A and B are shown apart, each in its own frame.
Chain A
Amino acid sequence: MQQSTAPVVQPPCQNECPIHQDARGYLAAIARGEFDRALEVVRETNPLPIICATICSHPCENKCRRGKVDLPLSIRALKRVAVEQGKSPPPAKPKAQRSQKVAVIGSGPAGLTAAHDLAHLGYSVTILERDAAPGGAMTNFVPIYRLPREWIKRDIDAITALGVTIKTNHELGKNVTIADLKKQGFNAILLAMGLPVSRTPGVPGENSEGVMLALPFLRSVNQEGYRLPPDKMVIVVGGGNVAIDVARSALRAGAAGVRMVCLEAPHEMPASPWEVEEAKEEGIDINCSWGPKQIIVRNGKLGVLECKKVKSVFDAQGRFNPSFYEEQCTLIEGDIIIMAIGQGSDLKMLPDMGVNLNERKQLVFDAKTMTTSQEGVFACGEVTTGPGSAVRAMSTGRRAALAIDGYLKGEKVVFTEPLPLGELAPEVVNGVKRIERNVVPAQDPALRVKNFNIADLGYDAVLGLKEARRCLNCGNGAHLIEEKCIACLTCVRVCPYNVPVTRNGKVDIRVDQCQACGICVAECPVNAIGFRMPGVEDIPQRIETAMKGSKQELGFYCSYDSYYLRGVNTQGMIGIPCLAKIDTKHLLKAFELGAERAFLAGCMDADCPFTGNLEWAQRRVDTVNSLLKDAGLGEGRVKMLKVEPDQFKNLTQLVAAAFQPKEAPKG
């Protein structure tokens, strides 16, 4: 939703996210145990946090730069940590309200996002939903074991709390028209009607009894509690995520077994690889590279799906255009066939209302302005993009909201796409510590197929902390303040990741490569390195604040250990995102301001994602101690406390013990 002309550079995870969520921001907050803050960050850009935390296709993870080092962060699972552990409320609706009204047709992810954004922009928004329950595809088609309906409701409730009205059982062309809406005073109308119709392959026998379509099947399982008759072998035709949903739902709905048949070879399947994996775990048999030829009915009952071997799925131009070895056939036996080969829109009511369709019965639509052929009528979601992920639909809803805002204000809206940070350089990759990805706990496959409970259990807080620490903080670290730099090369030499380099006689700290460990910031002799991550540049001010009121002792702790410090009184202590960001000048400042002693408490455990940081922190403690000692100002006035996670609760005692004068050995 950037509107300035200069493209903004974002971490790859954020950039790849269609709604450009600040994943780095909420991961950092989780890593510090600041779950409320994490949720706040999520909510800044995401109107459906719980839904996304549960079912998002997480394109962010594909671009996560840790993937170059070992494996990407589990970003979606961490978002779930934020929504489950965080307590911060959604942002309130703005005080300034506009007089204009907007009607949104459809309450799927696109419509809800548009409604949310428009409400925040001050418009009065009404959503018309043709079904009895809001949520569109999420409510109708996403299986309950993937997304509990209560969770959808919580996200939608947060949107209605903004003043958005949702009128269910309102279907365009049936009980309301565009003209009606305009008459009712809606200044703009947004079509977000999704793709509610299942496609069929058009093979002989497909109208036989026992052949079902994916979307109606899913809707009846999800909404009406439909269960299959006993002992039925189900064949699912299709290789996308919907097909997987159908297959896994069929198992839970009582199928004796499920066989999937798809045109694509395993590597070509459009379904997300992890979905395929989970289906396999549940015992679903996947038959790749077979296309349906005909459905054979035996004894008046459906019995066999005859398939022909796929030669290729795509033609030379890369278009979907399957070809077959016509004579190479196989028979797959089953009692029920569910067709899950794609979805289409239902827009037949639009031309009568003056909204044009093209010759392929698709909406006439201008993606630059999000407009249709009729003035004041906009569109978003899968009707404009074709099938895709919820988060992509959300991003079009967001665009549409901005387009409508511009339209209603009489302003031209230009969308600028932000740019991603560059790739991690190999020499940087080499320096990054390898840390194993934490597996997201899930229900046992054998058990989960017997119920509709959510399969994915998510991380608990501690696992979330550990996983979040793996984040490389892309682009959130050091940057050079060129006018202060004296090119002493200290940063070039201290960096464990080879991030600073010399170029044309100058130092270049490659912002896009920085791992944000902070060693260079504290070692720069002329304060010529700035730091983007919060909690570093303000250390001196925080020391001043902390030292007000004649404190004797000043403590610093690693912010990444905040979670373990719950319940410990850290009032007046200073949290730093890794103790290596402490500078000798900070410690001396504390003494100047009257401290008698200071300590640094840090995890010191294997979870520290940085290389050499603890060593550098120790070195600074030693330096300050030796400076003070040399000046006759006492010995051992700064202590470095290496604390195990489960010992943080005893921090007060540990500090007291560290400063306890050593007893003279007896005898």
Chain B
Amino acid sequence: MSNGYKAGTRLEKILAAGKFAVTAEVGPPKGTDPEPVRKKGEKMKSACDALNVTDNQTAIVRLCSLAGCALLKQVGAEPLMQIVCRDRNRIAIQSDVLGAISLGVGNFLCLSGDHQKFGNHPTAKNVFDIDSIQLIQTLKMMRDEKKFICGEDISGNTPMFIGAAENPFADPFEFRVVRLAKKIKAGADFIQTQAVYDVPKFARWMKMVCDRGLDKQVHILAGVIPIRTSGAARYMQTSVPGVAVPDEIVKRMKAAEDKGGADKKLKAEYGREEGIKLTLELIEQVKQIPGVHGVHLMAVGWEEAVPGILEKAGLLPRPAVEAG
């Protein structure tokens, strides 16, 4: 873009200005009602610099991320469109990107996608025509060369702020940094990480990232998932691929809930309280790690807690950015 920005989105401007960015996740409904997305957008728009709309997350069919982004735009929130490689080939993906740009979406996150085995259509055939790194390449090519993969020209402008994900807790640990470098080389402008619970391990990873100078080439937003109950912590520990929850966190949540005794309501309240406390601690800790430029809150099904958490974390109000 003529103003020097790649897309000129709020998220890009915040990061470019060297400010600590905040994004959060919005899960679309398993249905056609636009209201849930709009409501979440309303609640979070002033607390976050961009809102991720997931793309059939965990391979469960939901309202598409493109429509979700459009609904957020309607309420004045800044959308970040997630795209997975699992369900669409290069033709469909490029087409969706064109559509999104035409509707004013400027932030994109390129993902491989959870395997369909985990979703509600485990007998589906997956696509994976291109992988997430090639998806980054594709978006970069569309933006910088204004060309499709096939080499043909794209008409119109193609402003995009391109994101990618990385999981510092997956294996092979050493290779995760190499992979991050590949994503940067492919064209990633920012990274949202998998949820961080094991802060020392994340710090070790960040150190490797900084040692390679990658923090200078990309903005890293640390992923944080606020936990409400010990059950959720346990579930994430055992059943969510790629998320590493240390035992102490499960124990800590359990201990908090136990203070509520037999009273279920009280129990839940103590749990929520402890979860928020934990989230605030995590945000505070990751903020201190060199190279971390923001946080990404994935409060799946608990989006209403996000503004409160950010408030307590001292991240509100969000800084103003120049218009245009």
Contact, chains A and B (beta carbon distance below 8 A): no
